[in-house]
Amino acid sequence: MSNPDLEQLAAHAEAVREKYESERQKRLRAEGNDQYVALSEIKDFDADPYTPLVEREALTVTTDVLIVGAGWGGMTTAARLTQSGVNDFLVIDKAGDFGGTWYWNRYPGCMCDVESYTYLPFLEETGYVPTQKYAQAPEIFAYAQLLGRHFDLYPRAVFQTEVVDAVWDEDSRRWNITTNRGDRIAARFFVICGGVLHKAKLPDIPGITDFEGDAFHTTRWDYSVTGGGPEQAMDKLSDKVVGIIGTGATAVQAVPKLAEASKQLYVFQRTPSTIGPRNQQETDPEWFAEMSSKPGWQQERMENFSDMTTGRKPDIDLVQDAWTDLLGEDLKRIPNDAADAEGLEILNVKKMDQLRERIDEIVLDRETAEKLKPWYKVGCKRPCFHDDYLPAFNRENVTLVDTDGHGVERFTKGGVVANGQEYPVDVLVFASGFELLTFYTHRLGFDPKGEDGVPLSDAWAHGPSTLFGTNSRGFPNMFMNSPIQGGQDINFSFPIGQASKQIAYIIAQVLKRGCTKVEPTPEAQDDWFSVIAGTVLPYGTYLANCTPSYLNNESAAPTDYEMKLGAYMGSVRDWLAILEAWRQKGDLEGLELQP
């Protein structure tokens, strides 16, 4: 290399690489995911603060389809079943209403982090116009209720109910499902839409149950403590010292609201997030009418956003936001040669430099600004975008407690210990995230028993086996809407909606053909795994030297199970094309059907 500018850039990139590695080393923890404990394991933390329990009689019913999960997965599956002419189904959920994530996440400031015009399912069918480019959580929850009414799902909903067991009965060719409300449901088909990031977790550190003040996870926000509501200022915090643990996508949205309301706010940080600009906009109804005038507009917009954020470079950027700007180049691809690798690394550093410079421009205190700087590659953690998060640190009543990668050490009766110092707090908020790569049945909270009574946890002990992520041999008539060997995208609702289409199609086909049993062949599963494995390599290689996070299994060495857990990591559009071509062929290739 003889160009002095390039030499300088390469030297800078090398220095940054070393900094990334030293910061990563600080955060490596032998216990990986075991550093967390599920919210449900700590008494009282997991209770539903939003809907009082309604007593009801236990159900004894038969139905064609039982769907578990009333979030986007369950709702879009139900809607697609209806569109396919399958109307005999029930939807069960632990929550008190539709919405899934948007039922539970009511923390102040909660909003969709991708554009609502591409995110909210079925906008074309409902004709709903989101009020803002990034819809706020109450609007999204209300939209879930609207979808429930639009597709007439309420009469088929069984809320405040958790599946405790599901057993395949070969004689009747049905799943026998029991619940915590004493229900007994016999269903031809059992569809698990158990959510993606739904099982909340807490740091498993000493003293968590000793704290005597008010404490809750962001996904169970306690407005009786804070006052106010998702859309009203919290009026009970003006004399309270509040601590928030975590600085991920949730905290980034909640901190500005807590900063406005609290007497004093401590933000306990282990690893900073990247904070790009948000540029929230009200929806211009004329623009929306024009933009949505062509049939198929929303699918096109979802596809365009996916292409823009996976480096496929379509001719036009329909969404034009900080996501498409940040991820317009595919930084995770395997480089062609050494020069290409260097170019990719320099580009990556430049993008992160811009984000670090943005902190210097906004945060006034130099020491705080330095501590807020993220030292890892683009996308090692889910990128965040917000216009009020960084300015919150300019307030007198907000203190960043950076733990230099070590995290909070323990809790006392009256506060939080970090960096060897106790910080007394009245209210403790855990923005400590959700499980992603833990064992599927652990996250579901039940363990389906398939043919010969074999539990899914045994069948998958050495890793999942599926066809397209939706069906697994040995578990006839059972379907999964999940990223395990399925599709994934920045816009979660896109692959979820596509898996629903696939599941509804197969169920409708099996019924139409007068069959009673469907499951994939072993060969089809093996073939599918080969396809998956081919897509995981570039992404896995990229994430391998990332700072630990739920995306890379907290950097712990993968178990056999985790080795096979990956989603289709190529573009979701390729996964979608595979499914569409498969449905077009119409012969249900790879599935075994029995009369």
From 17-25, 46-54, 268-276, 559-567, give the range in contact with ligand NDP by CB under 6 A. 268-276
Lay out the site mask for ligand NDP across 440-479 (x = CB under 6 A, - = otherwise).
----------------------------------------
Q: Which of residues 112-141 bind ligand NDP (CB under 6 A)?
A: 112-113
**Amino acid type, 35:** Q
Of residues 248, 374, 415, 476, which one binds ligand NDP by CB under 6 A? Answer: 248
Of residues 244, 249, 380, 425, which one binds ligand NDP by CB under 6 A? Answer: 249
Residue 246 found at the interface with ligand NDP (CB under 6 A): yes
Q: Toward ligand NDP, which CB reaches closer, 417 or 531? A: 417
Provide, rounded to whole angstroms, the least separation between the CB of residue 413 and ligand NDP.
Answer: 18
Lay out the site mask for ligand NDP across 426-445 (x = CB under 6 A, - = otherwise).
-----xxxx-----------
Identify each DSSP E strand in 223-272 by its residue range: 241-245, 264-269
Q: Toward ligand NDP, which CB reaches closer, 144 or 158? A: 144
Tokens of 557: 């060495």
Of residues 270, 356, 377, 501, which one binds ligand NDP by CB under 6 A? Answer: 270
Lay out the site mask for ligand NDP across 383-422 (x = CB under 6 A, - = otherwise).
------------------------xx--------------
Of residues 251, 302, 319, 363, which one binds ligand NDP by CB under 6 A? Answer: 251
Residue 487 found at the interface with ligand NDP (CB under 6 A): no
Exposed / middle / buried, residue 293 (Cβ in 10 Å: 0-12, 13-18, 19+)? exposed
Provide, rounded to whole angstroms, the least separation between the CB of residue 30 and ligand NDP.
Answer: 15
- Of the candidates 498, 484, 486, the one whose C-alpha atom is nearest the C-alpha of residue 456 is 484
Residue 250 found at the interface with ligand NDP (CB under 6 A): yes
Q: Locate all alpha helices (DSSP H) within 469-571, ordered by sequence.
A: 493-512, 522-544, 560-563
Q: Which of residues 343-382 bind ligand NDP (CB under 6 A)?
A: 382
Q: Toward ligand NDP, which CB reaches closer, 253 or 304? A: 253
DSSP state of 404: T
Q: How far is CA 560 from the centre of its chain?
A: 23
- Enumerate the β-bridge partners of residue 149: none
The counts of H helices and E strands in the chain are: 20, 21
Cα–Cα distances in angstroms (integers) from residue 381 to residues 272, 375, 489, 490, 546, in the given order:
10, 11, 14, 12, 8
- Of the candidates 264, 519, 306, the one whose C-alpha atom is nearest the C-alpha of residue 392 is 264
Provide, rounded to whole angstroms, the least separation between the CB of residue 378 and ligand NDP.
Answer: 15
Cα gap 1→10, rounded to integer Å: 10
Residue 65 found at the interface with ligand NDP (CB under 6 A): no
How many alpha carbons lie under 13 Å from residue 408 in its C-beta half-sphere? 32
Of residues 247, 309, 324, 466, which one binds ligand NDP by CB under 6 A? Answer: 247
**Amino acid type, 161:** T
Residue 271 found at the interface with ligand NDP (CB under 6 A): yes
Distance, first Cα to last Cα, the chain: 68
**How many residues of this chain bind ligand NDP (CB under 6 A)?**
27
Identify each DSSP E strand in 193-274 by its residue range: 201-203, 214-217, 241-245, 264-269
Residue 175 found at the interface with ligand NDP (CB under 6 A): no
Q: What SS3 class is residue 484?
A: coil
The DSSP H or E segment spanning 570 is none
- By the criterion CB under 6 A, which residues form the site for ligand NDP? 27, 111-113, 197, 203, 205, 245-251, 253, 268, 270-271, 382, 407-408, 431-434, 549-550
